[in-house]
Each structure stands twice: as C-alpha cells, then as structure tokens.
Amino acid sequence: MTASTPSTPSTPSAPPRIPAAPAAPAHAVPAAPVRSGRIRVAPAARALARAALAARPVGLQDVPAGARLLDRYARCYLVPARTFLEVAADLTAPDRDGPFRALSVGGRRWFRYRSVYYDTPGLRAYHDHRRGLPQRCKIRERLYQDTGERQFEIKVKGSRGQTVTHRRRLADGAPALDEVSRGFLARTLSGAYGPDFEVPRDLTPCFTTEYTRATFVAEGGRITADSDIVCRDAAGGEVRAVRDLVLVETKSHGHHPTPADLLLHQRGHRAADFTKYAALAALNRSLPAHRWHHALRETFPATV
C-alpha cells in the first residue's frame, strides 16, 4: 500500500533553532503540558526535530527501493537524546558517503503515530513473543495521525528470522477487524507458517501506543527514532517513557551491523531486547516479562 505523493521541501541552509516555546504550526514539536505559562518540550522530541531539520529531506516517492524494508532485520536501542543527536549528525552529514536523509511528507519531517494492538483474551501473541517462538505474529491497526491514513498490519517471522510486515489500507470509518481484514490475516499467517498454523480468534484491542517518529533513509538502510512514547491499556492505565529517551531502530536487509549500529556501539550502547509490546508488562505487573525487565526499567522506571 502506498501513501499519496508528498511534496518535498527545499533543504534548509542551516539547522534552524527550535525555541523553547515554539509557535505551534500543524507539525510543531510535540509539547508537554503547559506549566507556569510556558510550553515544556521533552528533550527527546526536541532532538528528533533538530536531527530531522538538519538533514536533507527526501519525499516518500523518492525513498530508495532498498530502504522500504518491509522484509528486514531490526535492532532497538534506548539512548539519551544527546547521543541520538550525535549519531544522527554523523549519519546525515552532507560530506558522508551515502548520507541518510530525513523523510518528508507534505513538508513534515516528524509524525504522530497511534497503534492499536489486537490479541486474544489470554494474550497469545504477547506470550508467543515473550517466549521468542519462531512462529508468532503481531496484529495491529496503525493510524498516521497527521494524515488520517489507517493501515491494518501483521508482522510475522520469515524463514531466516527476519521480520516481514504485511499490510492493507483501511477505508475511512471501516472497522480494523472486518471480514476482509480477518481473511487477510488468515491468508497471511497460512502463507507464512503453513495451513496448520492456528489463526488467533476472538481478537480484541489489548493496548494502544502513541509516539512521535522521525525516519531517516539511505540505500539499503532505514532508521526510525521515536520519542514521547505513551502506552494505554483497555482499563485506562497509562505509562509514559522517560522524556530524555529516544527509541532508535536500525533496519536493514542483513545481519551485519549497520553504520548506525557501529556508531551506537562506539558510544557504549548495545541493542536492547525491547519491543513496544513489552509495555503490556509495565501496564500489568502481573504479566511475566523477565527478558524485557532491564529495558522496561530503563524506559518506564516509575512502573517497574
């Protein structure tokens, strides 16, 4: 599924200064609640904006084919905003061989996402993922809040252990789990794991994530950077990530470390065993989550 063709703004001559209390255009830096008459912008959100504005832009229609990466290997890193800025500056430097560019859609370079995850009453998908089963799936509806576009997405594991994403665009007002989506789910899982794989039934929303994302692309590589991560469950519980934390994901076609991985390793960061699905354990502390405990404590320290 492809989005509509965006316009690509011209490259800024120098990284603009983002004031502490910006005016609030449609694509303004996401703000925290107003206190004492001033808007307090989270350090991670400010870092995303600075990095995206400093890089050369690339429109969606001009993203290299090798950077689309619906079939990919990915690594997650939980890094301070300052570290992310240093790495982003290196990767997007104009004099670099094959520099990364910031995705720009309709003049925007960072975007609000909302994802609703679906699972069985017994949280089969969560537990399959926690156990690291080779045949597992994530089922979600993703809303691109700046455009209103909705996608029904299924993530499965490929034969080489890579993540493969399948998606179909949802019409305005259409339920995420209508008959067409359920048929799409059954075909996708049967195609990935064979006709004997048990397709999850009785799916209901189990939790929601919202965050701000900037995306950087180069031929054969893609980096996403998320800030302002908020997770909510069906009972109204809520957890928020540390304001200085950037969730960086490096995505490529192969197992070998990418340039971004190497830069992060040089700064003492190693890939974290983390997924936004793990936030369920921060929302419900009775759920087992041993493999994610360290990352949860780093991301949501008040809840673990």
Instruction: Output the pLDDT for position 304.
Output: 58
Instruction: Output the pLDDT for position 302.
Output: 78
| Full 3-state SS string of the chain | CCCCCCCCCCCCCCCCCCCCCCCCCCCCCCCCCEECCEECCCHHHHHHHHHHHHCCEEEHHHCCHHHCCCEEEEEEEEEEHHHHHHHHHHHCCCCCCCCCEEEEECCECCEEEEEEEEECCCCHHHHHHHHCCCCCEEEEEEEECCCCEEEEEEEEECCCCCEEEEEEEECCCCCCCCHHHHHHHHHHHHHHHCCCCCCCCCCEEEEEEEEEEEEEEECCEEEEEEEEEEEEECCCCEEECCCCEEEEEEEECCCCCCHHHHHHHHCCCCCECCCHHHHHHHHCCCCCCHHHHHHHHHHCCCCC
Structure tokens at 15: 């990284």
Within 10 angstroms of residue 145's Cβ, the number of other Cβ atoms is 13
Instruction: Output the pLDDT for position 22.
Output: 31
Q: How high is the mean pLDDT in each 10-residue block of the chain (304 residues)?
A: 38 34 35 46 95 95 75 92 97 92 94 97 96 95 95 93 93 94 97 96 96 94 96 94 97 90 96 93 94 95 75
Instruction: Output the pLDDT for position 153.
Output: 97
Instruction: Output the pLDDT for position 37.
Output: 44
